């Protein structure tokens, strides 16, 4: 520790101390601010003497959404939902478009929690529309393959 300037003998060869917080020459547990030319009335507790908190602070919860600077991490699924409207079960895909637009709006507002939640809903409805389309296509294929075509058209031939 350096000796405070006013207690340093003149001409001892020591350089003058710059402005800052130094151990208070008048007390043992405080620091006092030195302006470079004189002591001020400002004091603070020494860093090693700061009282410790009685309870440790709880760990921070893991983030549930990306930080506001990470806007590209939240997908809005707008293009896949539009393609699902065109090629898949459109009633379900329409909900996907709705949630995609809400996700995009929330992301632009900076509400990352809402953007993430609506993005996941859009993704869910895209998946549901694809599954519904596969089930409908499988049913139609099964219906056509199991159709009895031997009696098809008997009623169309005129009887003589």
Q: How many domains does the chain have?
A: 2
Whether 34 maps to a domain, the answer reads yes
Spell out where 47-87 has E strands: none
Contact 92, 128 (CB under 8 A): yes
Range of the domain at 117: 73-145
* Local confidence band at 10 (pLDDT 50, 70, 90 cut-offs): very low
Task: Determine the Cα–Cα distance for residues 160 and 151; give it in Å rounded to an integer.
Answer: 18
User: Does 81 share its domain with 27?
Assistant: no
User: Does 96 share its domain with 137?
Assistant: yes
Whether 151 maps to a domain, the answer reads no
pLDDT tens column, 72-107: 577 778 788 888 888 888 888 888 888 988 888 888
User: Does 41 share its domain with 78?
Assistant: no
pLDDT tens column, 31-58: 888 888 888 888 888 876 555 556 666 6
Whether 154 maps to a domain, the answer reads no
User: Does 41 share its domain with 83?
Assistant: no
Whether 157 maps to a domain, the answer reads no
Q: Which residue has the tokens 């389309």?
A: 133
Q: Chain-wide mean pLDDT for the chain?
A: 75
């Amino acid at each position: 520790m350096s000796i405070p300037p006013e207690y340093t003998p003149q001409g001892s060869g020591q350089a003058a101390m710059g402005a800052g917080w130094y151990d208070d020459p008048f007390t043992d547990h405080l620091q006092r601010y030195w302006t470079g030319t004189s002591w001020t009335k400002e004091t603070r507790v020494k860093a090693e003497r700061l009282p410790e908190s009685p309870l440790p602070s709880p760990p921070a919860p893991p983030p549930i959404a990306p930080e506001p600077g990470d806007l590209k991490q939240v997908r809005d699924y707008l293009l896949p939902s539009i393609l699902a409207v065109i090629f898949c079960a459109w009633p379900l895909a329409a909900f996907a478009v709705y949630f995609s637009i809400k996700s995009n709006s929330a992301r632009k507002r900076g509400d990352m929690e809402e953007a993430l939640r609506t993005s996941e809903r859009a993704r869910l409805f895209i998946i549901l529309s694809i599954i519904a389309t596969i089930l409908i296509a499988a049913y139609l294929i099964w219906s056509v393959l199991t159709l009895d075509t031997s009696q098809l058209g008997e009623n169309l031939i005129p009887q003589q």
